[in-house]
Amino acid sequence: MSSKKAYITGASLWCNLGKTPNEITRTVHSLNAQNYETFLQEHFAQKPYYHLLESFESEEKKLYACIDYVVHEAIQKAGLNEEEQAELAIFIGSTAMGISLNEESYTRYSLSKEGKAFEHIGYGYLGTYLETLTHSQHKALLFSTACTSSVNALAYASRMIEQGVISKALVLGIELFNQTTFNGFSSLMLLSQSKMYRPFDEKSDGIILGEACSALLLESKPRTKEDFYYKGSKNICDIYSETTSNPSGEPIFKTMDGALKAAHLDLKAIDLIKAHATGSENNNTSEANALTLLFEKYATHPPVTALKPFIGHTLGASGCNEIALMLLCAKEGFLPHTLGFEKGTKEASFTPMQEPFTCEDIPLTILFNFVAFGGNTTSLILARE
């Protein structure tokens, strides 16, 4: 076992709730069963999608504005000087990467036959951009494992710090609106028609996508006593199907159990489980069954929450985004509750947390669960003393 720890010393998020920690956490805390529907109706006036509140001149400007903001915020929060920034190993996780830039250029080219048909072929340029932005001496690595992309990036960054392979890391999760993803999920008939995000609820009828960008800064030493650190993680492949998890929940259960083993923890030590909770029919069954198996094995039942009703499903960036959201809220003394839940599906043996969890100045251990297309399943545990 490694003697080093990987601490998250900086976290930033730009999402539909805003871009400052104060804006984001205030809104999260204020949302409840009574005002959730109105919040969604107002937010979804244009389309059922958790969108950034700002408008941008182009997709390119939007992409780089988001990256610049979250990276600078995370670096500033950690208080890194230029020399320390050069030590940052860079990890990026996303599903769509920069496809919105290609949509823009391809459509323009199709109409005019002038200019570039593609802004870029391949997404390595995002890594090069971050290397330049941070003056990092390291080469950036991009993870494309669908919805587990950025949590896998975080797990590797953490383990490499624990093992002394790197001293600092910047993990970026980015998922911005693009027609390809929106229309693609629509053609797979996975999007909610009711426009109410209700994971694990009997009225749940699908996914609502969202856009957000976040950065997590990791170091081998904490900057404050509130900094969370990596306890362990597990990634496995559920080979049941390309687009659905094994409904028995067995592979997801094995992943969560594997993360507990990697962290040398019993489930009794977990204060909260952040479920993947996409609201899809398959996830409502498979993840609920997995949680039931976990609760039965350990004969305990920690609270479960879901964050997608606040920020939407941000796919490959959901790992980084939801962890950043959780850490920002924890810093404000609470952990977010689950919106949109009234009565569970027949598989849900639990009631997701209905009120925020007050956690000011107390030790915390949280298990984060993520499940992706292609059977890529990851659980990761973070704690603070």
Partner 1 sequence: MYIHHTYELLEPTQELTLYKQKLASLCKINLRRANKFNLLAVYGALSCLQNKNFSSNIGIYLATEYGPVESMVSVLEQVSKKDGIIMPFDFLGINTNASFYIAQALKAEGKHMMLTAHNQSFEKALQLAYFDLMHEEVDDVLVGYVDTSLSFIEEKHRPITKEVCFDKSCWIYANQNPANALAKIERIETFESLNKAEEHYHATLTPTSFWEQLQSLKEKETSLHVKSDERGKCMVITLVKPHL
User: Residues interacting with partner 1, by CB under 8 A?
Assistant: 95, 99, 102-103, 106-107, 110, 116-118, 121-125, 127-128, 131, 137-146, 152, 156, 159-160, 163, 165, 179-180, 183-188, 235-239, 242-243, 251, 373-376
Task: Please identify, using beta-carbon distances, which residue of 157 and 364 lies nearer to partner 1.
Answer: 157
Q: Is 267 helix (H, G, I), strand (E, B) or coil?
A: helix
Tell me phi and psi for residue 59, to 5 degrees: -65, -35
d(CA 97, CA 303): 33
Closest CA to 353 of 305, 307, 296: 305
Task: Please identify, using beta-carbon distances, which residue of 115 and 299 lies nearer to partner 1.
Answer: 115
d(CA 85, CA 72): 11
Token pair belonging to 300: 């305990």
CB of 313 to partner 1, least distance (A): 14
CB of 169 to partner 1, least distance (A): 13
Task: Please identify, using beta-carbon distances, which residue of 239 and 362 lies nearer to partner 1.
Answer: 239
- Which residues are CB-neighbours of 260 under 8 A, at least 6 positions away? 232, 266, 267, 270, 367, 381
Task: Please identify, using beta-carbon distances, which residue of 150 and 305 lies nearer to partner 1.
Answer: 150
CB of 312 to partner 1, least distance (A): 18
CB of 40 to partner 1, least distance (A): 24
Task: Please identify, using beta-carbon distances, which residue of 11 and 207 lies nearer to partner 1.
Answer: 207
CB of 178 to partner 1, least distance (A): 8
The CA-atom distances, in angstroms, between 151 and each of 105, 168, 234, 372 are 30, 17, 11, 11
Alpha helices by DSSP H, the chain: 21-30, 36-43, 59-78, 82-85, 99-112, 124-134, 149-162, 179-187, 250-262, 281-298, 308-311, 318-331
CB of 124 to partner 1, least distance (A): 3
Task: Please identify, using beta-carbon distances, which residue of 258 and 340 lies nearer to partner 1.
Answer: 258
